[in-house]
Amino acid sequence: MSIPKQAIQTSDKPIRKSMKKIFDRIDRIRASGTAVLDVESGTPYYRENGKRFPVQSMGIPGLKCPITLLIKGKSIDFTIHDVM
């Protein structure tokens, strides 16, 4: 018994759309050189939420793209999901 080809194929449009949002965010951060912190409550840098900080470095674009921000003179690492 063979499985019809249409049943095997799944749509990857939601994945493409979310990756496009991530890449757009990365492009925006690289263009401005700054990022706005957006971490969950309970994290050490929650008090800094909503503030704009200079970006020191960025890793390879992707789902867990590392971003290093300069906060009060210190280099702190975050992921793309922690910044806007």
Domain total in the chain: 1
Containing structural domain, residue 46: 34-84
Looking at residue 64, its pLDDT comes to 85
Q: Is residue 80 part of a domain?
A: yes
Q: Is residue 40 part of a domain?
A: yes
Q: Is residue 10 part of a domain?
A: no
Q: Is residue 20 part of a domain?
A: no
Say whether 45 sits in a helix, a strand or coil. Answer: coil
On whether the pTM is more than 0.85, the answer is no
- As a whole number of angstroms, the distance between CA 37 and CA 34 comes to 10
Looking at residue 3, its pLDDT comes to 52
How much is the CA Rg of the chain, to the nearest whole Å? 17
What are 46-70's pLDDT values in tens digits? 999 999 999 999 998 888 889 999 9
- With bands split at pLDDT 50, 70 and 90, how would you rate the model's confidence at 84? confident
Task: State how far the alpha carbon of 18 is from the alpha carbons of 2, 15, 39, 43, 65, in Å.
Answer: 33, 5, 19, 25, 14
Selection from 7, 16, 9, 26 nearest residue 66 by Cα? 26
